[in-house]
Structure 1
Amino acid sequence: MEAVVNDFVSNLWLYLSMPVISGVVGYVTNVIAIKMMFQPLEFVGKPPFLGWQGIIPRRAAKMAAISVETITTHLITQEEIFSRLDADKVANALEPALNGMIEEIVDQVMLEYEPKLWESLPEMVKRQIYKRVKRDAPKLINDIMNQLKINISQMYDLEDMVVTNLSRDKALLNKIFQEVGAAEFRFIGRSGLYFGLLFGLLQMGVWLFFQQGWLLPAFGLLVGYATNAIALQMIFNPKELMRIGPFNIQGLFMKRQNEVASDYGRLVSSYVLTPSNIIEGILKGPYADKVFDMIGRHVQRAVDEQTNLAKPFVTFAVGTQTYRDMKSSAVKRLIQRLPATLKHIEDYADEALDLEHTLSTRLQSLKPSEFEGMLRPAFEQDEWILIAVGAVLGLCVGVFQLTFMFG
């Protein structure tokens, strides 16, 4: 025993360096593991194996699909989203933009097909035509909105919209996972330090009595492996609150459910389920052709209703085919202007949908097993790689200790 004490005193700083180095190894390996989850956004190196891409960016489509499943299964459906939009209020929000657009489209179509007839009409007659078209515009919008709601499953794909936006914007996908799990990622780094110190103290005690060369690399590997693995377990387990004596024990992520719900609701409503993205999903999604066909039918019908009494005279004056071409031209011009025009309803839609509040409150009420799915997929896809990297780095540090410090 005296020899052990003398050895400890003689090599005090070397022995004290063990828990310090072990703590640093635990912290650094865990921080590197977190960085590897998110960076780089694109593959760096020589594909497919010599290089690296962040786990979440590499699996962007799958991560986005998991996010969609959480949203549509537990939080809100596309039917509910569109049911919150009042057709009359949409018409009111669009009215200023529509009024100017209607005059421009009427002028353009008439000047293209019947310039002499249109130029010869008195201004008062033109004003009456504008006025009548504007008067019936709200009914047209109402009809289109109602038709869209009735056939929403054939006209819109919420899942496609979310997956498309998150898959193409990997930085946004990273941002959502990073902000939702910010506390958990900080914990992983700190826990590496704490557990590393504990393992280092154990390593120091073992080395005092049993100085075998393989111990240092073995402990380095153990620290790198265990600090990552233990931290991941502590984040998600136990799922349900457990009482052990005076202590309440629950996974860190589960314990923060209300806070996470608030952050998630803010992020998704601000960057993913935004009115502009929803509108883009209508106009550019997989069912866009059906939407435009439906709008076209309604606009052409509206034109026929406008000219109902005068239609025989109009077709006599310009010809049946020219009349049809004029209707088609009006539809095309209207559809071309739709993306810019629909921006005028974004403020109303944001208020009416109230998605931040809806997503947050419903997420707060999820069961722990359902709530786990918010963040767990970010780890479980390739968490073995992160743990293995930690173990290898720890092993390298152990070899360094053996070679240069205790050789």
Structure 2
Amino acid sequence: MWVRTVVLSLVLGAVHASAHGLHRRLLRQDDHHHHASDEFGGGFEQRWGRSLLGSSDDTDKLSKGSDTHIALYVIIPFISAVVGYVTNVVALQMTFYPLEFTPSQLKFAQLEGQPFGLLGGWQGIIPAKAGKMAAILCDLMTTKLLDVKEMFGKIVPVEFAEALAPEMNPSMSRIIANVMAEEAPTFWNSMPTKVQAGLVKEAMAGAEDFLADVIEDLQNHVYEVLDLKAMVVRLALANKQDVVRMFQEVGESEFRIIEHSGFYFGFAFGIVQMITFYCVDTLAPSFSGPLLPVFGFMVGYATNWFALKLIFRPIHPTRVCCCTLQGAFLKRQDQVSEKFSELNVELFCNAKNLWEEMMFGRLREEFGELVKRNTRRFTDVTIGKGAGAVKMVFGADAYARMREKIAQNLVNELPRCVPVSYEYQDGALEVEATVCKAMKGLPPDEFEGVLHPVFEEDEIKLIVVGGCLGALVGFAQYILLFSGGI
């Protein structure tokens, strides 16, 4: 940070020191051209034209030069360093922001799945492709890091039932009593209260077995009732800020490298730029006009390109002379694995999100049927065990209706009751530990896929944007410092 501060001070100091010399040169040029630059349009045309066609002022400026004039060349590497830094920072900001397409009035012209629109506007690359990137990461996770069936297999059915029972048992008792009263009001109301309570209590004796059966059935058929990719994509699209946060925190160190490398690469390119421009401006001044914008584009383009390569290449440790080179992101595999697995559980793969996907997501009907079939078995067992006469009194049709009502009511009640078990499930599922261990063991070429998808498809856009910004700065640099100013 202090290096950039010193350089910025030098740039400002050099510009200030050259101001007096520029002022005197402007006066000489104004006299020489009979005040042709009093009006902006004409003055600008003449200055840019002289840079392309040459002039007597250009050919003899070394003989008329001074330390102030030389300072204009000296500050080129420093300006180039600032350009490299700024273009990399801008490229990163364009990767993450804005979260929604801006301006919103042009949203209708945004290309599907792209951060830009036909009529202009921009949305951060990650927010624009949040769903696609989430799907890529989910594929990586389910194929390389996590077996969903194995994950749910870590839940102990009896312990799950014990965690859920305090909330679920009262609901089940109420449901059974209400359904009995609805389907056979005369029979139910004729019973003494103690008999009703005894019947419900007898039925509830198997409640924890029922809950254990539900989780066992879920473990055996989890792929039929849980679409993990649909869950992750849905959450990513609904919470783009979480996706941005995940990539920012996972790649925090690498993004700092991208910013800082732009500064140092820019300075190195600036030295070449300074020497080239000095020679051309001295020997062939008619070609010096477009040189700074061209070099500006090259600096902005190259610093972004080099920064991205520095992060991900080489993939495998490569010995060069006395050094071992490897992409900065790949060097931090252990730290990245820990952060990624932590945020993955916090934002996506936790018990709350998994159950909400099963209860309300794409496969909610299949999940509901899983709960119902276990409820039917539970009802049959309790009726046969504690209330054999009920079935005879109800009749087959009424009993079937009663059984379905109990099943449906339990499905409806589950979203209110199941959250009490989330804490137990998060501990039992061990998603964070499992993902972290698996990520640390990934070979480098597979581990690269954790962060590189953020840039891979759209990195050329970021690189070109950096080049265009650099060209604009180069153009302004020439006009303000070498053509006589505006």
The TM-score bracket by the shorter chain reads over 0.9
Is residue 99 of structure 1 aligned with residue 169 of structure 2? yes
Instruction: Tell me: CA distance 1:244–1:4, structure 2 relative to 1, closer, same or farther (3 Å).
Output: farther
Which residue of structure 1 aligns with residue 99 of structure 2? 41
Aligned pairs for 1:284-303 within 5 A? 284-303=360-379
Structure 1 position 358, deviation (Å): 1.3
Which residue of structure 2 aligns with residue 198 of structure 1? 268
Structure 1 position 8, deviation (Å): 6.5
Identity of matched residues, %: 36
Is residue 340 of structure 1 aligned with residue 416 of structure 2? yes
1:68–1:159 Cα contact (<8 Å) kept: yes
Paired with 1:163 and 1:55, the residues of 2 have a C-alpha distance of 16
2:149–2:220 Cα contact (<8 Å) kept: no
Offset from partner CA, 1:348-380 (integer Å, 9 cap, x none): 111111211111111111111000000111001
Instruction: Tell me: CA distance 1:309–1:80, structure 2 relative to 1, closer, same or farther (3 Å).
Output: closer
Greater CA radius of gyration, 1 or 2?
Answer: 2
Which amino acid in structure 2 is aligned with residue 230 of structure 1? F
Paired with 1:17 and 1:402, the residues of 2 have a C-alpha distance of 12
SS of 1:179's partner is helix
2:383–2:391 Cα contact (<8 Å) kept: no
1:208 to 260, 278, 291: 278
User: So what's the TM-score if we normalise by structure 2?
Assistant: 0.79
Which residue of structure 2 aligns with residue 399 of structure 1? 475
Offset from partner CA, 1:157-200 (integer Å, 9 cap, x none): 22222222223321111111111111111111111111111222
Paired with 2:136 and 2:204, the residues of 1 have a C-alpha distance of 45
Which residue of structure 2 aligns with residue 157 of structure 1? 227
1:102–1:130 Cα contact (<8 Å) kept: no
Structure 1 position 127, deviation (Å): 2.8
Structure 1 position 234, deviation (Å): 0.6
Paired with 1:8 and 1:94, the residues of 2 have a C-alpha distance of 85
Offset from partner CA, 1:192-243 (integer Å, 9 cap, x none): 1111112222222222222122221111111110000000011001111123
1:330 to 398, 406, 418: 406
1:102–1:133 Cα contact (<8 Å) kept: no
Which residue of structure 2 aligns with residue 234 of structure 1? 310
Which region of structure 1 is more displaced relative to structure 2, 208-217 or 105-114?
A: 105-114
Structure 1 position 65, deviation (Å): 1.1
Which amino acid in structure 2 is aligned with residue 220 of structure 1? G
Paired with 1:92 and 1:305, the residues of 2 have a C-alpha distance of 20
Which region of structure 1 is more displaced relative to structure 2, 228-237 or 77-86?
A: 77-86
1:180–1:264 Cα contact (<8 Å) kept: yes
Is residue 269 of structure 1 aligned with residue 345 of structure 2? yes
Paired with 1:310 and 1:343, the residues of 2 have a C-alpha distance of 30
Which residue of structure 2 aligns with residue 86 of structure 1? 156
1:238–1:251 Cα contact (<8 Å) kept: yes
1:144 to 214, 217, 221: 214
Paired with 2:196 and 2:460, the residues of 1 have a C-alpha distance of 73
Paired with 2:144 and 2:273, the residues of 1 have a C-alpha distance of 47
SS of 1:84's partner is coil
Which residue of structure 2 aligns with residue 128 of structure 1? 198
Which residue of structure 2 aligns with residue 176 of structure 1? 246
Instruction: Tell me: CA distance 1:198–1:310, structure 2 relative to 1, closer, same or farther (3 Å).
Output: closer
1:275–1:349 Cα contact (<8 Å) kept: yes
Paired with 2:239 and 2:68, the residues of 1 have a C-alpha distance of 58
Which amino acid in structure 2 is aligned with residue 28 of structure 1? V
Which amino acid in structure 1 is aligned with residue 156 of structure 2? D
1:38–1:57 Cα contact (<8 Å) kept: yes
The alignment yields a C-alpha RMSD, in angstroms, of 2.0
Paired with 2:241 and 2:84, the residues of 1 have a C-alpha distance of 27
Which residue of structure 2 aligns with residue 13 of structure 1? 71
Paired with 1:297 and 1:89, the residues of 2 have a C-alpha distance of 21
Which amino acid in structure 1 is aligned with residue 130 of structure 2? A
Which residue of structure 1 aligns with residue 357 of structure 2? 281
SS of 1:248's partner is strand
Paired with 1:17 and 1:115, the residues of 2 have a C-alpha distance of 94
Which amino acid in structure 1 is aligned with residue 85 of structure 2? Y
Consecutive unaligned residues of structure 1, counting only runs of 5 or more, are none
2:102–2:123 Cα contact (<8 Å) kept: yes
SS of 2:316's partner is coil
Paired with 1:4 and 1:244, the residues of 2 have a C-alpha distance of 44
The size of the alignment, in residue pairs, is: 406
Aligned pairs for 1:362-373 within 5 A? 362-373=438-449
Paired with 1:158 and 1:20, the residues of 2 have a C-alpha distance of 50
Offset from partner CA, 1:281-314 (integer Å, 9 cap, x none): 2212332212211221221222122112676632
Paired with 1:106 and 1:192, the residues of 2 have a C-alpha distance of 69
Which residue of structure 2 aligns with residue 225 of structure 1? 301
Higher relative contact order (CA 8 A, sep 6+): 1
Paired with 1:400 and 1:10, the residues of 2 have a C-alpha distance of 19
Which region of structure 1 is more displaced relative to structure 2, 87-96 or 122-131?
A: 122-131
Consecutive unaligned residues of structure 2, counting only runs of 5 or more, are 1-60, 111-117, 282-287
Structure 1 position 259, deviation (Å): 0.7
Instruction: Tell me: CA distance 1:7–1:240, structure 2 relative to 1, closer, same or farther (3 Å).
Output: farther
Which region of structure 1 is more displaced relative to structure 2, 343-352 or 207-216?
A: 207-216
Instruction: Tell me: CA distance 1:359–1:7, structure 2 relative to 1, closer, same or farther (3 Å).
Output: farther
Which residue of structure 2 aligns with residue 356 of structure 1? 432
2:199–2:386 Cα contact (<8 Å) kept: no
Paired with 2:387 and 2:201, the residues of 1 have a C-alpha distance of 18
Offset from partner CA, 1:14-42 (integer Å, 9 cap, x none): 22321221111111111111111111122
Structure 1 position 137, deviation (Å): 1.2
